[in-house]
Structure formats: structure tokens, C-alpha cells
Structure 1
Amino acid sequence: MNKEEQVMMALRDVFNKMAWLNKFKMEDSLKGYKPSEVHCIEYIEKNVDSNVTKLAESFYMTRSAMSKITKRLIEKGLIESYQKQDNKKEIYYRLTEQGKVIYEIHEKLHKGFQERDKGVFEQVTVEQFDSMLRFVEKYSKHLDAEIKKMGMDVKSE
């Protein structure tokens, strides 16, 4: 196995372990909510004037699929739609009080996961972080270019 394969396998393995380890607390604390719904709530809270297009781009989903998620979130009373005075065509979303409760639970869980893993990150040097970040950025740009070749839009960062 070459270095490239080792890195990719290691990244997948770490991601899968994190997802598996975090899954139990997430499912227990956020019963009745799908991960896609919770992450949609998180995005809406952190991004002003969220709409279906922005959400779909962020999650690499179709607008149709994202519309179904936002519709479910409205039905559950977690988000509400609104329009701006100067643009009655576009529909935006914001969290309801109930949606903010779910957001806060999710944030506390993430802070707990960060605290659990803090010991590992405290051992990483600034140079190591910079090196990892350069790699991730380079690989992400490569994937953006591949997505663009397929004729799809890539969210701009």
C-alpha cells in the first residue's frame, strides 16, 4: 500500500470511528431528529438568510431534497420561513425557539466531543496543524475542480 492509500484509509478510518463514537450520544440526546435535520438547523443558525439554494450547496444535495428537509423542519416547528420586504420572491429560514433548543443540544454535544479529544490536539504543533490544513485545503480544491468538471456548482468559500 502506498502513502496515498495509507492516508486515505487512515482518514476514512478516523472519520468512521468519530461518527460511530459520537452517534450514540447524538441519537440519545436528539431522539426523533435525523442527522440531516440537525445539521440543517446548525447551518440555519450559523448563516444569516439561509435559503434552500444555500443549504443545498452546503450539503451537496439537490434543492428538491433540501426542500423536503426544510418542509419537515417547518412541520416539526423547528424553523420558520420569512421573506424580506425588498424581495418577496426569495424564501429564507430562521430557527424557532424549539429549533434553538435543538441547536443548543447539538452544540453542547460537539463541545463535549472536543473536550474528549482535546488531549490529542494539545500535542499537535502549530507546524503540524499548518501542514495538515494545507493538505486538506489542497485536496478540497482538487475535489471542487472535479465537481466543476461534472458541470455542477461548488459553493464558494
Structure 2
Amino acid sequence: MKNVKKNLRQELHRYRNHRLNQSAFTALAKTAPQLTDSQRQAMTKLSVNELHVLTALDQPEEQRGADLVSQLDLTQGAISKLVTRLTKQKLLEKYHQPDNRRDTYLRLTPFGKEVAAAHAHYHQVQDVATKKYMNQFSKEELATVTRFLQGLNDLNDSWNDVNQKGSE
């Protein structure tokens, strides 16, 4: 049992590292035929949070930075920094409604839309591969893994709650 737990911890660590690195997304960006070389280069340097902001803004309804705070579970300060960086990279732009100069709205530039589309495609490809992989396990095995991961996520959430209370 000790080796099983050790192997499981190693595999979870490896999984987290894969989820955090963007090598697969970078490879996808390099093969996107509609992008220029400079766009591909810029795209490969985006953080996961920057990609999530672009994906969240790739919606038909108008959105403000405050809307992203609740959608992405990030602070207003973090959203402001991400929006500033993405604006400088010409991936999104800020604008005001003619009858509402108080609220600042955000929208993707054409390049931002291309990146959001590539990111969505990346996740679609990843989802298909994950579903195919999961088919080799029984319903009971998947239920056990799910229960384990839910417990682990609950544990991480409780640590996040402790850390947030400690910083207040």
C-alpha cells in the first residue's frame, strides 16, 4: 500500500505539472496556419490566466472586468493586471458605452479572437483524448478515482480558505 500511495503522489505531481505547462498549447500555436510568426510567438508566451480571460471574453454579450472577477475566481487586482497585459499585446481592447462613461467594457481584437479559438480547439482535442482514455476503465474504477480527486480538491480548498483568512 505504501508504494501505491507513493506512486499515486508522483503521478498527481506529474499531472499537475502537465496541466500547468503549456507545451501542448505552444505546439498547437506553432501549427496554426492563420497566424503570423509574431502572433504565434506572442501566443506561446501567454499564461494560463491570460488564456482564460480571452476565453471568457469570447462571448456575444458585453463584459466588464468586474464580470471576469466572478467568472474566473480571480481578484479585481489580478484581472486588472491581466487586462493591462492583454491590451498591450493587442489581444483585447477597452471601450465605453456612449450612454455610460463610468463602466469600462472589454472585447477581443481579431487577434484575440484567433487566440481564443485556438485555445478552445486545444481543449476540444484534449477532451476527446481524455474521454477516449477513460473508456478503458470501469464505471467503478472511475467512481473511485473521482471520489479520491474530490476529496483532494476539498482538502486544497480548505487550505486556500485558511490562507485567505490568514491574509485578511
TM range (shorter): 0.5 to 0.7
Answer yes or no: is the 8 Å Cα contact 1:22–1:113 preserved in 2: no
Pairing of 1:11-90 with structure 2 (within 5 A): 11-17=12-18, 19=21, 22-28=24-30, 29=32, 30-33=40-43, 34-36=45-47, 37-45=50-58, 49=63, 51=65, 54-55=68-69, 58=72, 63-81=76-94
In the alignment, the residues of structure 2 paired with residue 87 and residue 137 of structure 1 have an alpha-carbon distance, to the nearest angstrom, of 43
TM-score, length of structure 1 as denominator length: 0.67
> How far does residue 142 in structure 1 lie from its aligned partner after superposition?
1.6
> How far does residue 8 in structure 1 lie from its aligned partner after superposition?
2.0
Q: SS state of the match for residue 58, structure 2?
A: helix
Answer yes or no: is the 8 Å Cα contact 1:44–1:50 preserved in 2: no
TM-score, length of structure 2 as denominator length: 0.64
In the alignment, the residues of structure 2 paired with residue 7 and residue 92 of structure 1 have an alpha-carbon distance, to the nearest angstrom, of 45
Q: What letter corresponds to residue 5 of structure 1 in structure 2?
A: K
Rg (Cα) greater in structure: 2
> How far does residue 15 in structure 1 lie from its aligned partner after superposition?
3.9
- Structure 2: state its 5+ residue gaps: 33-39
2:126 is aligned with 1:113: yes
**For 1:57-109, what per-residue CA distance to the aligned partner results, in whole angstroms no more than 9, with x for missing partners?**
8366x644442221121233322335689987554533333322211111122
In the alignment, the residues of structure 2 paired with residue 149 and residue 106 of structure 1 have an alpha-carbon distance, to the nearest angstrom, of 33
Structural RMSD (CA) = 3.6
Equivalent pairs counted in the alignment come to 151
Answer yes or no: is the 8 Å Cα contact 1:79–1:93 preserved in 2: yes
Structure 1, 30-39 or 78-87: larger mean CA deviation: 78-87
Higher RCO (CA 8 Å, separation ≥ 6 residues): 1
